[in-house]
Amino acid sequence: MQLVSGRLFDGRTDPQRITLLPIEDGGTIALAPIEDMIADRLGQYAASDGRDGEMLDQARLLFKLAGDIDREYLIKRALEETGDPALLGLR
């Protein structure tokens, strides 16, 4: 879990895709869309000097676990993060 004090993914996340999960104390936790998490990992993979395979593995695992996703949104977000959606078989 990561605590973010600002807008998710530098404000690139579609705010309507954020899931608000109620918690016991009456507050809420904002959950980022799975597509944004996948795109972030693809971008981190692309940005790493040695092509950090762990980031690509995480992107692929999230994609596999995600089930029903918005592929168009994922492709858009991956490209914004300078990631390559083709690494997931998308284009």
- Say what the pLDDT of residue 77 is: 95
Could you tell me if residue 3 is inside a domain?
Answer: no
- Say what the pLDDT of residue 5 is: 61
> Which of 8 and 3 is assigned the larger pLDDT?
8
Could you tell me if residue 72 is inside a domain?
Answer: yes
pLDDT at 1 over 60: no
> For the segment 33-91, what is each residue's pLDDT rounded down to a tens digit?
999 999 999 999 999 887 778 999 999 999 999 989 999 999 999 999 999 999 999 97
* pTM as predicted: 0.85
3-state SS assignment for residue 14: coil
> By residue range, what is the domain housing residue 69?
8-88
The answer to whether 54 and 18 are in contact (CB under 8 A) is no
Could you tell me if residue 22 is inside a domain?
Answer: yes
pLDDT at 23 over 60: yes
Could you tell me if residue 2 is inside a domain?
Answer: no
Could you tell me if residue 13 is inside a domain?
Answer: yes
Could you tell me if residue 62 is inside a domain?
Answer: yes
Could you tell me if residue 74 is inside a domain?
Answer: yes
The answer to whether 30 and 19 are in contact (CB under 8 A) is yes
Could you tell me if residue 1 is inside a domain?
Answer: no
